Chain A
């Protein structure tokens, strides 16, 4: 049996991201929640994730800055951005900077899963 897909979820809204992580676990994913950009980067240093789901608007280091750091260390790692509902501009900007795609918050979990699967399908599996 293959390993479950490992997803790192990054958002400063702790209740949101921890509940989303639980829901993904129920659906067979291995998910970890990080509540800041710094925490996310330190988790990426020591763990392997297949996909990162990253909120754009966070206090301190914002999502786009976190993505730049991720891409510098792990260019192959797909990043899906979360933007405020209706904020297509930030999502488009993120895609220009290397994000796989973006979703708007509040999000639909099935849509997130299908985006994760799409992202995995588009990336060569890292060794």
Chain B
């Protein structure tokens, strides 16, 4: 990555990290204010039961959405710090989990499910790499899958050790409406994002391996 690009990414990272910190402060205020309302109605419930029930339901939704917002901003704050270092040791289980949380909406818009898979026996898989480029490789892989898959299918991204030793990321596509493997890989490889992935994986000194029988492929490092 050239120094100008690095500078730009660092700038965007700093601005984004600052903003997510501010958003968390907003969420903290909403959380405490909602909590205070709940405390007050616990001491002095509303006179009509049906309104108290509506209040409780509404409060439950606020709390649920607050947790969602806190989760998203926490993960996005971490993501915003990725340009801080040109090389870092990544815990691939955490990284894939974070990636799926932040990109799930791209899949949802196409009615495709996205989940982070667990490696066997909760294995710890670590990789020292350029974090931004690694995220980009994950994203280009996802984008390629989203181009090649129809609605009502599922993408599962799982960190694992390929051949028992090389850190790898598996993309496995499942569902009742899957296209034939040949068609899937044709569309996958025709996607613009796939060319970007090839270039990025080369820069990361990794490789892509496809299982043409089972709609799976791996990024191997």
Interface residues of A (CB under 8 A from B): 13, 15-16, 19-20, 22-23, 26, 57, 84-86, 105-107, 109
- Among A13, A23, A57, A85, the residue within 8 A (CB) of B39 is A23
- Among A20, A23, A26, A106, the residue within 8 A (CB) of B70 is A106
Q: Which residue, of B27, B32, B33, B66, has the highest number of chain A Cβ atoms within 10 A?
A: B32
The answer to whether B25 touches A105, judged by C-beta atoms less than 8 angstroms apart, is yes
Q: State the Cβ distance, B200 to closest chain A Cβ, in Å.
A: 26
Q: State the Cβ distance, A19 to closest chain B Cβ, in Å.
A: 4
CB neighbours of A85 from chain B (8 A): 24, 70, 73-74, 77
Residue of B nearest to A12 (CB): B25
- Among A15, A23, A57, A86, the residue within 8 A (CB) of B35 is A23
In the docked arrangement, what's the CA distance between A13 and B77, Å?
Answer: 19
The answer to whether A13 touches B25, judged by C-beta atoms less than 8 angstroms apart, is yes
- Among B29, B70, B74, the residue within 8 A (CB) of A13 is B29
User: Total number of A-B contacts with CB less than 8 angstroms?
Assistant: 51
28 residue pairs bridging A and B, Cβ less than 8 Å apart: A13-B25, A15-B29, A16-B28, A16-B32, A19-B33, A19-B35, A19-B36, A20-B32, A22-B36, A23-B32, A23-B35, A23-B39, A26-B39, A26-B40, A26-B43, A57-B21, A84-B24, A85-B24, A85-B73, A85-B74, A85-B77, A86-B75, A105-B24, A105-B25, A105-B28, A106-B28, A109-B32, A109-B35
B126 touches A (CB below 8 Å):
no
Count of B residues near A, CB < 8 Å?
21
CB neighbours of B77 from chain A (8 A): 84-86
Residue of B nearest to A14 (CB): B29
- Among B25, B28, B33, B43, the residue within 8 A (CB) of A107 is B28
The answer to whether A15 touches B70, judged by C-beta atoms less than 8 angstroms apart, is no
